[in-house]
Structure 1
């Protein structure tokens, strides 16, 4: 983790290894102690079946300048996965009024974060209004291009894990 924690005093939901809530902590404490937390992830498709992939800004606290095929965020204290997913895609990309379809929950762990994620999908054609504090750029990509991106990177590893599992379930020919 090279960059400063964004919103260090924000209270986030902390969970155990079985995804049971155990309390809350500040985002700063969660990062410093690598506490298990919850995150939402959303794959945004257009009517042609292309996936919107964003590129994170250089000063993100985790995975700076990585591509993110399933943007989302850390679930706040007292917030549901669904509330978080809707809030995050609206804040980061201006996407609102979409039906979020729950896909699955998954555990992800590396040296930067440990989390329980919930993947959602939705359909949205645009326009996008990217938050310059979060997103450098974004574009729709074919699923073949997404598969290539997952293999070549740099891609946020937690989003990569979510999208790879989605592809294994829904598009076996495009396994990363």
Structure 2
């Protein structure tokens, strides 16, 4: 039997389970999950599909993805496809979805974002070439090269949605400009790259943990030092999920605790692990429950870092 997908309607409600080939032949809407990847410098990954692929061989794309399996969420499918096609396991962030009427069939396309810092190991059966391009370079390529159906539209909507305070509301809405052959739903005003940049810009000596200041001081060349706890709290404010804690050890002695996040998808996200440069190790993690109300420690530093992040993002959800 061929690949099974969920046949959905034009409101993305499941109607039944069908073979993907049948859905395409009958132009029945089904779900596709895709991810736009950025590197630390903010460049976007561009791909050329293998010439042996059954769908759109040799076309360019800014998204890595494929069909959503039966019973699978968009986010789960996006993470799976990244691992299968690029060999990387990183957090993916749902950005928006749209009903795309281009191509061989109607599809609901769920677009995600990922910040990739590890080496890529692309599947040669899927990807013939890949490269990192700036937004300016990508706009030029997108105008001159054959792209997969919906690729340019997804890129246009992504660049608009990640532009910062201009996209402050996350409530479902129809595209304001009415362009393209698709309806946008659930644009997320923040993405991991933008949030990380805002946090890094806010880290300073006056938000560093006093215990870590006593150990080594704070230096601009290691800005994450002493910021794991309040950084994890702000990430939790924005994305939800769980707070994770492990013990920090060096030379056989414990030197405090390290905090990071587990996103609702189950992927762990640690934005401050880089601070450990002197042989420290972190023990196996455990989930800790966030206390309600003001924190017993580091409340003032947490509020100060939040204020600095708000200066970049425009607003934040209230403390969880």
User: 1:115 — aligned with what?
Assistant: 107
Q: Deviations over 1:53-107 (max 9, x none)?
A: 11101122222101110111111111110110011011011111x1211111111
What is the rounded CA distance, in whole Å, between the counterparts of 2:151 and 2:33 in structure 1? 10
Aligned to 1:154: 146
Larger radius of gyration: 2
Q: Superposition RMSD on alpha carbons, in Å? A: 1.6
Unaligned runs of 5+ in 2: 165-320
- Asked if structure 2 preserves the Cα contact closer than 8 Å seen for 1:149 and 1:155, the reply is no
Q: Kindly indicate whether residue 75 of structure 2 is the aligned counterpart of residue 77 of structure 1.
A: no
- The separation in 2 between residues aligned to 1:32 and 1:73, in whole angstroms, is 17
Whether the aligned pair in 2 keeps the contact of 1:17 and 1:36 (CA below 8 Å) is: yes
Q: Distance in 2 between matches of 1:63 and 1:16?
A: 24
Shift of 1:9: 0.7
Deviation at 1:171, TM superposition (A): 4.8
Q: Distance in 1 between matches of 2:20 and 2:125?
A: 17
1:90 equivalent to 2:46? Answer no
Choose between structure 1 and 2 for higher RCO, CA contacts under 8 A separated by at least 6 residues.
Answer: 1
1:129 alignment counterpart: 121
- Where 1:85 maps in the other structure, the secondary structure is helix
Number of aligned positions between the proteins = 164
Contact 1:71–1:159 at 8 Å: present in 2 too?
Answer: no
TM-score if structure 2 supplies the norm length?
0.49
What is the CA–CA distance in structure 2 between the aligned matches of 1:120 and 1:170, rounded to whole Å? 11
Written as runs of structure 1 = structure 2, the 5 A alignment for 1:24-103 is 24-96=17-89, 98-103=90-95
Is contact 1:41-1:159 (8 Å) kept?
Answer: no
Q: 2 CA distance for matches of 1:95 and 1:163?
A: 21
Alignment partner, residue 4 of structure 1 = none
CA offsets, 1:138-163, max 9 Å, x none? 11111111111221121112222111
Match of residue 139 from structure 1: 131
Q: If the length of structure 1 is used for normalisation, what is the TM-score?
A: 0.87
CA contact (8 A) 1:74 1:84 kept: yes
Alignment partner, residue 189 of structure 2: none
What is aligned with 1:5?
none
